[in-house]
Amino acid sequence: MSSLGHSPESYLATHTSLIRNTLNLSSLAIAIIGFSSVFKKDDADTSAYLVRVVGVLLFVYAFIYGLKTSMDFQRYLHRLSKGPDLPAFYREQLKEWESWVYFDYAFLAMLFVVALLFAFMKFNLNVNVSMFGKK
Comparing 24 with 129, which gets the higher pLDDT?
A: 24
Q: Above 90 in pLDDT, residue 45?
A: no
Indicate the pLDDT class of residue 1, thresholds 50, 70 and 90: very low
- Report the pLDDT averaged over residues 13-21: 95
| Amino acid, res. 5 | G
pLDDT in tens, 51-102: 888 888 898 899 999 999 999 999 999 999 888 888 888 888 888 899 999 9
The range of the structural domain enclosing residue 49 comes to 8-123
Within-domain flag for 72? yes
pTM: 0.79
Domain count, the chain: 1
Q: Above 90 in pLDDT, residue 27?
A: yes
Within-domain flag for 30? yes
Comparing 39 with 26, which gets the higher pLDDT?
A: 26
Percent of the chain surpassing pLDDT 70: 81
Q: What is 14-68 written as a DSSP string?
A: HHHHHHHHHHHHHHHHHHHHHHGGGS-TTT-HHHHHHHHHHHHHHHHHHHHHHHH
